[in-house]
Structure 1
């Protein structure tokens, strides 16, 4: 055919048969290499995004402070996150991707709204932390040997003030008398962690922005591997800081602590900042402080904007339905101002809570507020009989009980090393990690009872009718019972009078559930490796 239409072109049979095959083979190899590079790059991008969203200035200050104050036990929160982010990639993302186009739209918005300075600041903080990790005191073995001897020269006599914990290098600690009991680490810690890693919109929507499920799983894997780093970048530098500056970081006298950091409870939270200011060279020191402030401002901006939006759109707009856009803007700004004032007034409470450890304070608050949300979220996804009433009362009861315990913790703070423990037994002997377990069980019981009373057994498999059922039954049975009408309303099938039928939303290019067989085997193999690494780390330092 080619020789007939183009007589001047007369390639030899050898060239005609072999050259195209050679060209195609090279192209195939190039495309394959580019594909694997792109998969790796996207996985790195998603994983770095997840890690950057999780790690901020609070981690550096809080984890280093907890390391200086009590050893490596706080690392359990990070290594627990390794397992939870894998749960996101392998269990929850397929559910999200298959069920919601709106989530995809939100993910695209979040992806387009991201700024490079977040990632750049994170990279600089990580590099700075790795440099600080190099300022060891004679190697890792020296840290193990010298940390128990990091005792301040001035401390309250005949007390444990200023003396490092004997179990400082253990993650699993005594189930009754320790600061982080091991049963609570295994169970109570995992519940809020599931909420954060598997349902928080900041984390989930970054994963939903992936091209396909393999990319999302790869990002979860990278984020899980990166969660190993805080032990070396934050906790160990905090312990080094206490070794180098025992009188300041590990102060054991309230008057000395007040003079050092204006907090008589303790100064362990200055551990990381102390290293930065004392050990890093001038240029790098300023850069580290700048990016940490930028990360802090970014976090505060996100929190204040989200809180302001929730207040103005979900509360104020319902109170004043005729509010103009100008009024909503003014109300939002005033609410942010109120939040700032409350936050400043709350600083003394944070200083006095949990022995002055910022990271532990944050985690304890999570244990009081997040378990009910986790239970509602999980039952809503995995239990078909979950209904609105059960979710509502489970959330209300859980929140009331959790807030009550949180208030009691503020009223009866943890006694200092020189004080006797006179707290009520319910606070003294029920650790906040144990309370997380209790609160989870209580919320689950309330949800179960409400669901059992709301739905008869014969409706268990047909609680929410399909669209075909509603279109036929709603039109033919105008005078249906109140129960059926309420049921349609709960399931979102209610149709307003005179409302035109809504056309189906246009299909959006959602993240695909299809997996390349080769890459599926790669990520699944890495899943096993990553879980093994997490189990090994827990077992080695247990």
Structure 2
């Protein structure tokens, strides 16, 4: 897992374009074109020249993660050193005002160093941060195809759990490698990062809505010596290209297996491969068309855009996943109508907000308060609860799933040793399970411990998995407890 991983290709394109634009002075679409061209060569080289398929992407992710963590650590040291360390950041951040600032716009928030902020006036209200962001995180880390695809490729359940714990340790780092250096950038470049008026922002970074998105590129280009600067730019762009390749590969696998193969059941591996590649081309076109929305949404705040988009689309998936694991009474009709109803409610908020604008400081948006007045993280909680209500209501109107299909798939039967009959076994043969763009002739995922936890389609083994090695399983459990202790301490310290 890379610290820059996202699940939206347009966000990766825009982020990479910002780096290229800051470094080379190109315009947005010229930068995106260069990024896409290099990504196409990168993906082709890794899939078809080197290792092929998912293995190549995972090894590339590993190497890039190690380099980018090392480079980001060096940059964090330079940034904090330039402002006098953490204590200097505490003292200087509230004073980082842009020239000729007046009114609240452009002023640092007084609660900038607090995680838990006012539930009504905070930019990230604490109920939404704890519950809403928790729901979004559950969706991403437990159900997003980019993550699930890698977990299903693990050699054993112990390997998968260990990988998740390592990702947890890595997710502690952005607080110190990204957030604090970003605040230091506000201190070092207050006229750019803190610009408050459209004319000043346009002169500073080319965007009238704000310049906070260029904080990290400005640090890289201004503080690092030439050698490290080039290495950092190369690694960040390589990581973004790897994310794009992963997202496009996962999207192509989902489209070819879950949609196109249903429409063309007789299609062979080569046919599916071509369909997947054409789908990637369509995804690129849609992402390019969406770039102006990314640039203008949420007052030009890229992080807010990412979280808002997830808040409107992810809670239904998280709700269905949560209920399917913990409530055995949930069935397919309930899940289907819950996802459909949740998607409709999410789009009812997303479309008017992105069309009419949510506004920014000093410039309110045109979206009515009835639709857009609720904070997006609070909306995520509401959408999650409404989806749960729909899923449970519809499920109770249809017969339950027999217990013989649920062994080791629900929490109450997690330790069952009974053989399980796959619910889809009679509906669809698994010849092409495990297929992904680049290696559509791969074999289905094997038993845990024999090459894969499950197939790419997520169909778990009907037989009981072999027991895990107690020594390694215990080591993973201990590290998980240590990780939760570290996270709890940081939350308590910064709350």
Residue of 192, 199, 219 corresponding to 1:275: 219
| Structure-2 residue corresponding to 1:172 | 116
Contact 1:195 1:373 in 2 (8 A): yes
Give the direction of change, closer, same or farther, for the CA distance of 1:323–1:341 in structure 2 (3 Å limit). Answer: same
Contact 2:6 2:243 in 1 (8 A): no
Give the direction of change, closer, same or farther, for the CA distance of 1:252–1:371 in structure 2 (3 Å limit). Answer: same
Mapping 1:28-43, distance limit 5 Å? none
Q: Kindly indicate whether residue 363 of structure 2 is the aligned counterpart of residue 410 of structure 1.
A: no
Name whichever of 253-262 and 144-153 sits farther off. Answer: 253-262
Q: Kindly indicate whether residue 63 of structure 2 is the aligned counterpart of residue 128 of structure 1.
A: no
**Matched position secondary structure for 1:300:** helix
| Structure-2 residue corresponding to 1:203 | 147
Mapping 1:377-416, distance limit 5 Å? 377-416=321-360
**Matched position secondary structure for 1:400:** helix
C-alpha distance in 2, partners of 1:205/1:465?
Answer: 23
Q: Kindly indicate whether residue 243 of structure 2 is the aligned counterpart of residue 299 of structure 1.
A: yes
Question: Per-residue CA shift, 1:323-372, capped at 9, x if unaligned?
Answer: 78777666555543333333223222112212212122111111111111
| Structure-2 residue corresponding to 1:144 | 90
| Structure-1 residue corresponding to 2:289 | 345
C-alpha distance in 2, partners of 1:465/1:292?
Answer: 45
Give the direction of change, closer, same or farther, for the CA distance of 1:344–1:217 in structure 2 (3 Å limit). Answer: closer
Q: What's the TM-score, normalizing by structure 1?
A: 0.68
| Structure-2 residue corresponding to 1:452 | 396
C-alpha distance in 1, partners of 2:322/2:107?
Answer: 43
**Matched position secondary structure for 2:184:** helix
Max Rg structure: 1
Contact 2:334 2:392 in 1 (8 A): yes
Name stretches of at least 5 consecutive residues in structure 1 with no aligned partner: 1-49, 66-107, 468-488, 497-504
In the alignment of these two chains, the number of paired residues is 414
Give the direction of change, closer, same or farther, for the CA distance of 1:347–1:125 in structure 2 (3 Å limit). Answer: same
C-alpha distance in 1, partners of 2:155/2:480?
Answer: 20
**Matched position secondary structure for 2:360:** coil
**Matched position secondary structure for 2:363:** coil
C-alpha distance in 2, partners of 1:385/1:164?
Answer: 50
Give the direction of change, closer, same or farther, for the CA distance of 1:313–1:192 in structure 2 (3 Å limit). Answer: same
Q: Kindly indicate whether residue 292 of structure 2 is the aligned counterpart of residue 354 of structure 1.
A: no
Question: Per-residue CA shift, 1:121-172, capped at 9, x if unaligned?
Answer: 22221111111111221111001111111111144x4x32211111111111
Deviation at 1:318, TM superposition (A): 4.8
Give the direction of change, closer, same or farther, for the CA distance of 1:430–1:317 in structure 2 (3 Å limit). Answer: same
**Matched position secondary structure for 1:248:** helix
**Matched position secondary structure for 2:199:** helix
Contact 1:147 1:243 in 2 (8 A): yes
Contact 2:119 2:127 in 1 (8 A): yes
Deviation at 1:218, TM superposition (A): 3.3
Question: Per-residue CA shift, 1:414-467, capped at 9, x if unaligned?
Answer: 222222466423344311111111111111111111111113xxxx68576899
| Structure-2 residue corresponding to 1:442 | 386
Deviation at 1:311, TM superposition (A): 3.9
Mapping 1:301-316, distance limit 5 Å? 301-312=245-256, 314-316=258-260
Contact 1:380 1:386 in 2 (8 A): yes
RMSD: 3.5
Name stretches of at least 5 consecutive residues in structure 2 with no aligned partner: 19-50, 408-420, 429-443, 454-464
Q: Kindly indicate whether residue 60 of structure 2 is the aligned counterpart of residue 117 of structure 1.
A: yes
Residue of 478, 484, 488 corresponding to 1:535: 488
Contact 1:212 1:513 in 2 (8 A): no
| Structure-1 residue corresponding to 2:457 | none
